[in-house]
């Protein structure tokens, strides 16, 4: 359970519930009707969205619920794959309990194991949701593009530079094949953010000279190791704590806020320095990830972004993005602009916005059915690499440039991954000692 879903555990925020409350009785039909306004009435057939899910955990299950509404009518779940059988069963049971009917995915189209993605992609699907832990994403993306599927990919799209390069190379191939791709950096599909960033791009705050991006929150879930589990199973079930599976917290979670600043800047950072470490989560059950990063990113125009992420209980929480411009400021997450062109988005309008978890699927389905361009692979790859650059700076204690991050050969994986045998936990990075050494 990660990101917004972690928050959902402690708050009533639930995208589906919110939609239901907002739209009132007959909501499922209402959402379906609303989403069908992007296309004229279409029959099942060439317009049908035939979904395959790879990674049936919390987010994958949420995404299934989202696509079922976003693409209705004319959507069908065909196949589901996961490393573990019970995750598929739980996912199907949860979705069925919410929609009040069977999903119609028979056992023969439920695939278990690390190769489940190949079986899902071999089925008659045209829309694949990639929601496994991030380490597998480059390979899953490669296979999905090769198989000619439209893709909804969760973020981040890789955990290291070789993975990012592999995904960047897929961007143009996907375009050549006419594939549509949306990414789970959902703020880019959130009306309030779109409204605010458009004003910033139109010059409302002048040139951006500084930015702040935060994802500071408390600790996460973790699952106690069972005696029968191999190292691989223990790690996979606790994937956020192993940097070669998750990318570490700056890549796995803080990517959202970094992406917003990149979006506003129309650029990625040029370099990073970072003060980071593992202050509280020092036990081996927490694998080898850090619990905080405070990173100073510099963009090519000289603007600096102060970025912070933390997963430590009992501290001040803050998940937000802010900009300082030559003619004003913006608290982007609150959709506020101050200064020469002061503006605040009407909260009553925001309250009625479609949840971005739906909107990202609505936008993707609209692109598919309407033949419109949509390929978010490059932007999410750049956000991923921005976060990786910050992690490299934090781990090493050095200043890391975009080129160094982009060209890095470093792979975090301790070796080929398997659910049997032994896998040693890679060492916790030590600033001043971990490569690349400080420049
Ligand atoms: N956009 C968002 O707001 C948001 C929110 C939460 C999670 N996420 C992202 O979604 C992804 C999944 O996160 P989650 O919270 O659902 O985690 P999760 O642990 O609940 O689910 C991951 C699922 O993938 C399965 N899995 C592991 N390895 C696999 C493999 N090789 N092939 C197929 N399935 C495999 C696991 O068994 C598990 O069921 C992560 O990349 C995370 O960053 C995004």
- 44-74 per-position pLDDT tens digit: 456 899 999 999 999 999 999 999 999 999 9
Name the class of domain 193-352+381-407.
alpha beta
Please report the pLDDT score of residue 31 as a whole number.
Answer: 31
CB atoms near residue 154 (< 10 Å): 26
- Ligand 1 near 56 CB (within 6 A): yes
Low-confidence ranges of the chain (pLDDT < 50): 1-44
- Ligand 1 near 1 CB (within 6 A): yes
Dist. CA 83 → ligand 1 center (Å): 11
Instruction: Please name the residue whose Cα sits nearest to atom 4 of ligand 1.
Output: 3
Instruction: Please name the residue whose Cα sits nearest to atom 25 of ligand 1.
Output: 55
Please report the pLDDT score of residue 9 as a whole number.
Answer: 30
Half-sphere exposure of 370 (CA within 13 A, CB side): 16
Instruction: Please name the residue whose Cα sits nearest to atom 33 of ligand 1.
Output: 82
Helix (H, G, I), strand (E, B) or coil at 426: coil
Dist. CA 239 → ligand 1 center (Å): 9
- Ligand 1 near 54 CB (within 6 A): yes
- Ligand 1 near 74 CB (within 6 A): no
Check if the beta carbon of residue 340 is closer than 8 Å to that of residue 200.
no
pTM as predicted:
0.92
The residue whose two tokens read 């209402």 is: 30
Domains 4-187+356-376 and 193-352+381-407 share a fold: no
Q: For ligand 1, pick from 55, 58, 61, 144 the residue to mutate: most ligand atoms within 8 Å of CB.
A: 55
Q: For ligand 1, pick from 4, 144, 154 the residue to mutate: most ligand atoms within 8 Å of CB.
A: 154
> What's the alpha-carbon Rg for the chain, to the nearest Å?
21
Ligand 1 atom index nearest CA of 186: 1
- Ligand 1 near 297 CB (within 6 A): no
Check if the beta carbon of residue 365 is closer than 8 Å to that of residue 38.
yes
Ligand 1 atom index nearest CA of 60: 16
- Ligand 1 near 154 CB (within 6 A): yes
- Ligand 1 near 81 CB (within 6 A): yes
CB atoms near residue 32 (< 10 Å): 18
Is the C-alpha dihedral spanning 410, 416, 52, 24 positive or negative?
negative
Domain range summary for the chain, segments of one domain joined by +: 4-187+356-376, 193-352+381-407
Dist. CA 326 → ligand 1 center (Å): 40
* Fold entry, domain 4-187+356-376: Rossmann fold (3.40.50)
- Ligand 1 near 57 CB (within 6 A): yes
- Ligand 1 near 131 CB (within 6 A): yes
Please report the pLDDT score of residue 439 as a whole number.
Answer: 64
Instruction: Please name the residue whose Cα sits nearest to atom 15 of ligand 1.
Output: 1
Tens-place pLDDT, residues 345-372: 999 999 999 999 999 999 999 999 999 9
- Ligand 1 near 62 CB (within 6 A): no
- Ligand 1 near 2 CB (within 6 A): yes
Dist. CA 223 → ligand 1 center (Å): 15
Q: For ligand 1, pick from 1, 2, 254, 360 the residue to mutate: most ligand atoms within 8 Å of CB.
A: 2
- Ligand 1 near 356 CB (within 6 A): no
Phi first, then psi, for residue 81 (nearest 5°) are -130, 145
- Concatenating the DSSP letter of every residue in 149-168 gives -EEEEPSPS-SSHHHHHHHH
CA nearest to 354, candidates 107, 69, 4, 163: 69
- Concatenating the DSSP letter of every residue in 282-340 gives -SGGGTT--SEEEEEEE-TTS-EEEEEEEE-TTS--EEEEEEEESSEEEEGGGTEEEET
Check if the beta carbon of residue 289 is closer than 8 Å to that of residue 246.
yes
């Amino acid at each position: 359970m990660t990101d917004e879903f972690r928050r959902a555990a402690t708050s009533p925020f639930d995208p589906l519930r919110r939609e239901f409350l907002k739209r009132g009785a007959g909501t499922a039909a209402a959402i379906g009707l609303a989403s069908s306004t992007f296309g004229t009435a279409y029959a099942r057939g060439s317009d049908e969205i035939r979904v395959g899910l790879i990674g049936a955990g919390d987010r994958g299950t949420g995404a299934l619920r989202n696509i079922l509404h976003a693409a209705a009518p004319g959507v069908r779940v065909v196949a589901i794959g996961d490393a573990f059988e019970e995750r598929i069963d739980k996912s199907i049971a949860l979705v069925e309990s919410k929609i009040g009917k069977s999903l119609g995915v028979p056992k023969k189209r439920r695939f278990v194991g690390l190769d489940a993605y190949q079986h899902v992609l071999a089925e008659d699907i045209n829309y694949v949701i990639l929601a496994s832990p991030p380490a597998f994403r480059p390979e899953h993306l490669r296979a999905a593009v090769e198989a000619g599927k439209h893709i909804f990919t969760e973020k981040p799209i890789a955990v290291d530079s070789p993975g990012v390069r592999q995904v960047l190379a897929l961007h143009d191939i996907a375009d050549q094949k006419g594939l549509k791709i949306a990414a789970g950096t959902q703020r880019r599909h959130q009306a309030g953010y779109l409204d605010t960033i458009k004003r910033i791009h139109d010059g409302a705050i002048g040139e951006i000279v500084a930015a702040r991006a935060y994802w500071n929150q408390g600790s996460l879930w973790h699952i106690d190791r069972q005696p029968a589990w191999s190292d691989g199973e223990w790690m996979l079930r606790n994937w956020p704590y192993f940097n070669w599976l998750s990318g570490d917290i700056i890549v796995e979670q803080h990517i959202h806020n970094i992406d917003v600043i990149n979006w506003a800047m129309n650029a990625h950072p040029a370099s990073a320095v970072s003060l980071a470490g593992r202050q509280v989560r020092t036990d081996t059950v927490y694998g080898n990830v850090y619990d905080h990063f405070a990173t100073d990113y510099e963009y090519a125009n000289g603007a600096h972004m102060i970025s912070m992420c933390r997963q430590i209980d009992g501290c001040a929480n803050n998940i937000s993005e802010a900009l300082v411009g030559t003619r004003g400021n913006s608290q982007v997450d609150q959709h506020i602009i101050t200064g020469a062109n002061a503006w605040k988005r009407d909260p009553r309008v925001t309250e009625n916005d479609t949840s971005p978890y739906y909107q990202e699927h609505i936008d993707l389905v609209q692109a598919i059915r309407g033949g419109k361009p949509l390929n978010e692979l490059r932007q999410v790859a750049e956000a991923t690499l921005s976060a990786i650059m910050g992690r490299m700076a934090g781990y090493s204690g050095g200043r890391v440039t975009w080129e160094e991050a982009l060209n890095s050969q470093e792979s975090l994986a301790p070796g080929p991954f398997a659910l049997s045998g032994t896998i040693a936990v890679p060492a916790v990075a030590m600033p001043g000692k971990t490569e690349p050494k400080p420049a």
